Amino acid sequence: MSEERFGEFVLVRRHERGHVAELVLDRPKAMNAVSTEMARSIAGACTALGEDRDVRAVVLTSSHERAFCVGADLKERNSFSDADLVRQRPVARAAYTGVLQLPVPAVAAVHGFALGGGCELALSCDVIVADRTAVMGLPEVSVGVIPGGGGTQLLPRRVGSARAAELIFTARRVEAEEAREIGLVDVLVDEGRDREDALAMAARIAGNSPVGLRAAKRALRLGHGLDLPAGLEVEDAAWRSVAFSGDRAEGVAAFNEKRRPEWPGE
Residues labelled catalytic: 72, 117, 120, 140
> How many other CB atoms are found less than 10 A from the CB of residue 245?
19
CA dist 163 and 171 (Å) reads: 12
CA dist 101 and 94 (Å) reads: 10
Residue type (1 letter), 16: E
CA dist 109 and 130 (Å) reads: 6
Say if residues 62 and 32 touch (Cβ distance below 8 Å).
yes
The single-letter DSSP state of residue 125 is S
Run of H or E residues at 12? strand 10-14
The length of the chain in residues reads 266
Where do the H-state alpha helices sit in 110-245?
A: 117-123, 151-159, 161-170, 176-182, 194-206, 210-223, 228-243
